Amino acid sequence: MHIPNPGTIEADFTMEEVIPAGALIDSALVTTDFDPAESLETEEFNVWVISPAGTAVPVYDGVNLLNLEVDDFLLTGTENQTAEGTWKLKIERLGQGVEGYADVCELEVYYRY
């Protein structure tokens, strides 16, 4: 997914499994990786995951000092919400810089019914 330069983009996560109706979130983990990582250093980003209920959980905010990568970040504040529906990744780039892409954007949702 291309990251605007500057600007904001929102994209739906593609879920590998169908979440059953009535399922509630126990926990959710997100993994992101951006390219070219070394060229995106010192640029300012905000990254959120938005649950089907509309809760925006900040995953990353601030200046990218080393590598804009998130590995198995636990999304807090989504517990007991409905797990079924569209999950989104929102990326806001606050300044002009080199072209960048979100290469890996994965979401794991653990739920119960």
- pLDDT tens per residue across span 72-82: 888 889 999 99
Average pLDDT over residues 85-89: 94
Given a cut of 90, whether residue 84 has pLDDT beyond it is yes
Average pLDDT over residues 94-109: 82
Q: Which domains does the chain have, with CATH numbers?
A: 2-112 (2.60.120.260)
As a whole number of angstroms, the distance between CA 60 and CA 5 comes to 17
The band of 42, judged by pLDDT with boundaries at 50, 70 and 90, is: low
Q: What is the mean pLDDT of the chain?
A: 84
% of the chain with per-residue pLDDT over 90? 40
pTM here?
Answer: 0.86
Average pLDDT over residues 27-49: 77
Given a cut of 50, whether residue 65 has pLDDT beyond it is no
